[in-house]
């Protein structure tokens, strides 16, 4: 009788241990990324124009902070299309950036099948545009 109660308890404890502590890991990763350039010595940026990848890097960071990876991957279809597949379908221009940013905020279905993309109404329009610019840069 003890074994019937022990197994669910052990599995539950394992599940909670695996899910917990995510915030500390993110904070440690952020602080280690911030200091990596300082401790590793000077980084040669002579071949990079100032601000060249700023929108792309900001867009990737914004995507990482949202729930996008629940349904999308960079290379392959998950629930929704992969980012590279989106980049192949849409030309990287202001009109498409505007349209796709609205789609990210409002959600919808029909362009990639019947599964609807959930809306993200709390997302600012400029942030959605940066996210779309990053996605469209993946061609």
DSSP annotation of 110: S
In-domain check, residue 34: no
In-domain check, residue 24: no
Number of domains composing the chain: 1
Asked which of 14-23, 52-61, 92-101, 125-134 is least confident by mean pLDDT, the reply is 14-23
Question: In the chain, what percentage of residues exceed pLDDT 70?
Answer: 60
Given a cut of 80, is residue 11 above it in pLDDT? no
Band (2; pLDDT cuts 50, 70, 90): low
Quote the domain boundaries for residue 125: 52-139
C-beta atoms surrounding 84 within 10 Å: 15
In-domain check, residue 47: no
Answer yes or no: is 117 a known binding residue: yes
Band (38; pLDDT cuts 50, 70, 90): very low
Q: Which of 30, 97, 41, 94 is nearest to 64 (CA)?
A: 30
CATH number for the domain spanning 65: value is 1.10.760.10
How many Å apart are CA 22 and CA 12, to the nearest integer?
18
38, burial (CB in 10 Å: exposed 0-12, middle 13-18, buried 19+): exposed
In-domain check, residue 72: yes
DSSP annotation of 90: S
What is the tens place of the pLDDT at every residue in 85-137?
A: 999 999 999 999 999 999 999 998 888 888 899 999 999 999 999 999 999 99
Report residue 125 as tokens.
């329009």
| pLDDT top residue among 139 and 23 | 139
- Total-model pTM: 0.60
Asked which of 2-16, 50-64, 74-88, 119-133 is least confident by mean pLDDT, the reply is 2-16
Answer yes or no: is 68 a known binding residue: yes
Which pLDDT does position 26 carry in this prediction? 44
In-domain check, residue 29: no
Q: What is the dihedral of CA 9, 10, 16, 17, to 10 degrees?
A: 150
Helix 94-106 with 125-136: angle, nearest 10 deg = 120
In-domain check, residue 121: yes
Contact in structure between 74 and 81 (CB atoms under 8 Å): no
């Amino acid at each position: 009788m003890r074994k019937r109660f022990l197994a669910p308890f052990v599995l539950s404890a394992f599940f909670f241990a695996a899910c917990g502590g995510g915030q500390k890991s993110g904070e440690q990763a952020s602080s280690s990324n911030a200091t990596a350039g300082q401790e590793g010595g000077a980084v040669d940026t002579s071949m990079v124009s100032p601000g060249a990848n700023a929108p792309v890097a900001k867009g990737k960071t914004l995507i990482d902070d949202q729930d996008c990876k629940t349904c999308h991957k960079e290379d392959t279809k998950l629930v929704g299309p992969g980012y590279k597949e989106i980049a192949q379908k849409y030309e990287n221009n202001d009109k498409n950036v505007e349209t796709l940013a609205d789609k990210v905020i409002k959600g919808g279905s029909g362009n990639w099948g019947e599964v609807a993309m959930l809306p993200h109404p709390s997302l600012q329009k400029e942030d959605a545009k940066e996210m779309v610019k990053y996605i469209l840069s993946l061609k």
